[in-house]
Amino acid sequence: MSLRSSSSRLLARAAPSKAAAAAAAPRAAAPSVAATARSINTSSSSSSSTWANVATKPSAQRLVSAVRTFSTSSSASADFESPFGVNSLSKYTEEEEMLREAVQRFAQDVVAPKVEAMDEAEKMDPEIIKGLFEQGLMGVETSADHGGAGCSFTAAIIVIEELAKVDPSVSVLCDVHNTLVNTVIRKYASKSLQDKYLPQLSEKTLGSFCLSEPASGSDAFAMKTSCKKSADGKSWTLNGSKMWITNSAEAEFFIVFAQSDPAKGYKGINAFAVEKSMGVEIAKKEKKLGIKASSTCTLNFDDITVPAENLIGEEGKGYKIAIEILNEGRVGIAAQMIGLAQGAVDKAVRYAADRKQFGKKITQFQGMQFQISQIMMEIEAARVLTYNAARLKEEGRSFTKEAAMAKLFASQVAQRASGSAIEWCGGVGFTRETGIEKYWRDSKIGAIYEGTSNIMLETIFKLVEREMDLK
């Protein structure tokens, strides 16, 4: 089956299948140990007698016996499928599996041949962007009514991870467009704005998310970009600059955060849907260490007039939009980092398995085997953190701490994995011939954007402090 036909089968669906619906629906609350024990008692007489005997044993033995009872019950595994839905974070719905396969083919067939040239030129190939739209990968969560695929948040994470295995630059372009831009419009914009912009964002128009400024990085709400409502209330005027803005060179649509009244602090911040044609100036393009094909520019807003109806959400609630949406963005960056790590390791291990030294393949040396095993374990741990955060988000549960943990750990693993991959390949790994060194350069940004590592640590501790009632 061709990439196009396989992808279109998935992405043309207006509604998810029963399997997808089950994965996206909130999971039933986990039963208590007593309830589980009762279930086992009714399904197996041997389990019932074992459980009864456990009650008379000392506590340590009782625990061991209980575990054995649970694990050896013949009906337990069968009963587990139905009431709990998706049972592991590595189990995907039919649509998610199809999507992963389609993106893998697109990445290998379309993106891979252009990675080196794009990195050297520090420019995204327009055909790559066009291909992402044609494959339906730029409206993953957007409904079919607005030209999107109508898939889950986890589906978007799958897309980001698979693209990053081949090129993290392409991955972050897709990530920002899906998890930030599209999501803000879907969740917070008026119906008229959704009807106007979501079809464009699904089919042809690249979006950009504009929050950071020269003087407000981690302290994002110290922004200076201003917005002033007209006397008749029909428009807003924007003035100021934004910095470090991803997708900015190619984007035609921008979500811009601006301050209406500094005296109100964060409560004076608003979010706007801004078209490039309204007068957005694309200024300095940054020359970066990594993800060089992904554009990062300064934007200037000089008396730009934006219609009042382009205000996103309620007036003065822009800060809430930014805080909430960055949690989703962090899961996206975590997915980019685990994809990057996996891509680097896969290349390096295959090289090491082919190259011989001292009469043996490099991978036959125990020292190498231990290193590879350690990194593979860390990548899998980062993946579990990331997909757990994604599933929590889909269930409508709090995932702020989990998103911060996933983003922080995945960025750390990406640096270790890509650095180790270079060493495993020796001298050739240090050259640009294999492309492995590019993964290492690309990995560093994971510790910086969508919240620095220190911000992630602070976020995690604050939530742990609250959970433990330490204040």
Structure confidence by residue, pLDDT tens digits, 283-313? 999 999 999 999 999 999 999 999 999 999 9
pLDDT band at 221 (very low <50, low <70, confident <90, very high): confident
SS3 246: strand
Mean confidence (pLDDT) of the chain: 86
Structure confidence by residue, pLDDT tens digits, 56-71? 333 433 333 333 333 3
Minimum mean pLDDT range among 46-55, 162-171, 322-331: 46-55
Is 25's pLDDT higher than 90? no
Give the CATH fold of the 323-467 domain: Butyryl-CoA Dehydrogenase, subunit A; domain 3 (1.20.140)
Percent of the chain whose pLDDT exceeds 70: 82
CATH number for 3-16+94-207 (one of 2.40.50.100, 1.10.4030.10, 1.10.540.10, 2.60.120.260): it is: 1.10.540.10
pLDDT of residue 77: 40
pLDDT of residue 219: 87
pLDDT of residue 218: 85
**3-class SS letters over 165-234:** HHCHHHHHHHHHHHHHHHHHHHHHCCHHHHHHHHHHHHHCCCEEEECCECCECCCCCCCCCEEEECCCCC
pLDDT band at 112 (very low <50, low <70, confident <90, very high): very high
CA gyration radius, the chain: 25
Q: Which residue has the higher pLDDT, 387 or 1?
A: 387
Structure confidence by residue, pLDDT tens digits, 416-432? 999 999 999 999 999 99
pLDDT of residue 87: 66
Q: Is 103 exposed, middle or buried (0-12, 13-18, 19+ CB in 10 A)?
A: buried
- Residues identified as active-site: 450
Beta strands in 230-288 (DSSP E): 235-246, 253-259, 269-275, 281-285
Give me the residue spans of the domains in the chain: 3-16+94-207, 33-84, 208-319, 323-467
**3-class SS letters over 29-71:** CCCCHHHHHHHHHHHCHHHHHHHHHHCCCCHHHHHHHHHHHHH
pLDDT of residue 217: 79
Is 235's pLDDT higher than 50? yes
Give the CATH fold of the 208-319 domain: Butyryl-CoA Dehydrogenase, subunit A; domain 2 (2.40.110)
Query: For 315-336, b where at least 16 C-beta lie within 10 A, e where not — what string?
Result: bebbbbbbeebbbbbbbbbbbb
pLDDT of residue 64: 34
pLDDT band at 273 (very low <50, low <70, confident <90, very high): very high
Asked if the domains 3-16+94-207 and 208-319 are classified in one and the same CATH topology, the answer is: no
Structure confidence by residue, pLDDT tens digits, 81-110? 434 455 677 788 888 999 999 999 999 999
pLDDT band at 30 (very low <50, low <70, confident <90, very high): very low
Mean of pLDDT values over 40-52: 36
391 close to 403: Cβ distance less than 8 angstroms = no
**Which residues is 380 bridged to in the sheet?**
none
pLDDT of residue 91: 80
